[in-house]
Copies of this chain bind each other. A is one copy, B any other.
Amino acid sequence: MNVTFLQELFGSIAEQGRSLLPKSLFGVEGDADINGLARALTSGRGEASGVAVARALLDRYAELDAEGRTRFFKFLASDMQPNPARVSEAARAYLDAPSPLELSRLQKALESPRTEFFRRLHLAPGATPEIVAMRHDLLRVLPVDPELMGVDADLRRLFYVWFNRGFLVLRRIDWNTPAVILEKIIRYEAVHEIQGWDDLRRRLDPADRRCFAFFHPSLVDEPLVFVEVALMRDVPDAIEQVLEEPHAEPDSKAPTAAIFYSISNCQEGLKGITFGSFLLKQVVEELMREQPSLKNFVTLSPAPKFASWLRAAARSAEQGDNEERDVAAEARALLAAVGASDWPAAASGDTEAAEAIEASMLSLAAQYYLNAKGADGRPVDPVARFHLGNGARLDRINYLADTSDKGLRDAFGIMVNYRYDPKEIERNHEDYANGGVIAASRAVRAMLKLKPKVPLGHADGAVAQPALPAPEGAGNASDGRAPTMSEKADP
């Protein structure tokens, strides 16, 4: 509504979409066909007055309802395709006599007119956010209209170039950032919900807190991805150590650990374009420069699928090998134990039962992280896939680290630390990418072997009353919850 903060920074003179061309050219057409404008844009008229046609089309699009937009997408899908006859002809010519020239002709024949359409649409100054929003619309209908996949592929390819890392600018977000951006931080935080402006201030303003975001020069006021960081003396093993308020006064001693405790993607329309990995790495560099005392760069991350995996493991035991059957048995015992006790309330009690639950939980969590693989041979945990893919190491598994309802429901309170160690990032990534090797600390590996001193169910102190919130919709507990970092950060 107002001229914006970053618009001042990046903004140009007079880019409000005014057009040299008389409005009448478009005005007369009344409810002019948006398809007609799209055709005009890719034609010669687009060359002469592309800026104006593109602006008119975007304005027309903005007025369409959901149905109208879907119709327009279908038009793009069906009418803006490579000409099949030309493709066949060029393919044949190439096969007859392969040569660079024929290759280049075939490439040309295959180029989608849609691609040029979207490029010309971007002739209109200020169109970037509108075209990104267009893909957001598209993604909503894509599941039910798979024939639009080609349109999405073209847009995604375009965005991959537009939002290339080289164009992004890193900016610190703090209490001096314009409200129009801050309210988006509140809205987009996907991991640990921000409870209004006071909570936001607690996360941004203290001397030992940081927040960084990537921006794109043409997408003003809109962070693409942001990360919240706490600077601490010790690596925390529970989220409340980070979020508690008032947090301990900044030590007079310099912090040694930067804790990335939340990373959120912001733009639905840019789904599939990777930012999170670049952001984390650049923030590590930035912080190393700003605070030479920082030595540890670690996350405090959720385990969003642990609970559902544990239940599945408990159920699906019969078919497996020995080890799987052992895991299944242990999972059943653990589920029975936490269901039958006043866990986690009793966890602080130094009872044998509490110890048995903790040992069993950690051992199974290690199973989950180190051995549970999806059909693609990758970890089932999406957050793990993100960080391990980035070259991080699974450093620690923390028991009862998030005792919020969500934390207990999704992960029985488990959180983990991933460590970004510049010296091993590349090797970790290579090993993971090529062989699916999961970089994990010795401590995590040792947890696989962890056994309760007294077997579960035989310990004292168990109590009959189930204290755990029931899973929401058995089997797909994650569907109902807020999107987690992994889904947001690297879909």
Contact = CB atoms under 8 A, between A and B. Distances in A.
Given A14-B170, A51-B278, 6 more contacts: A2-B174, A91-B95, A104-B153, A122-B167, A125-B282, A128-B166
21 contacts: A1-B175, A13-B170, A13-B286, A14-B285, A14-B289, A44-B434, A48-B391, A48-B433, A49-B391, A49-B426, A81-B103, A84-B103, A87-B94, A91-B92, A104-B150, A104-B153, A119-B164, A125-B165, A128-B166, A166-B218, A175-B180
Interface in A256-294: 278, 281-282, 284-286, 289
A84 B106 contact: no
A205 B150 contact: no
Interface in A164-219: 164-172, 174-180, 182, 196-197, 201, 205-207, 212, 217-218
A248 interface: no
A42 to B, nearest CB: 14
A286 B14 contact: yes
Interface centre among A22, A88, A106, A207 (most CB of B within 10 A): A106
A187 to B, nearest CB: 13
A176 B178 contact: yes
Interface stretch (A3-11, A233-241, A307-315, A442-450): A3-11
A218 B218 contact: no
Contacts of A254: none
B44 A433 contact: yes
Interface residues of A, number: 101
Interface of A: 1-5, 9-15, 18-22, 25, 44-45, 47-51, 81-82, 84, 87-88, 91-92, 94-95, 98, 100, 103-104, 106-107, 110, 112, 119, 122-128, 150, 153, 158, 160-162, 164-172, 174-180, 182, 196-197, 201, 205-207, 212, 217-218, 221, 278, 281-282, 284-286, 289, 390-391, 422-423, 425-426, 428-430, 433-434
Interface centre among A88, A169, A171 (most CB of B within 10 A): A169
A82 B87 CA distance: 17
Contacts of A218: 166-167, 217
Contacts of A18: 285, 289
Nearest to A20: B281
A164 B48 contact: no
A29 to B, nearest CB: 14
A12 B285 contact: no
Contacts of A205: 1-2
A38 to B, nearest CB: 16
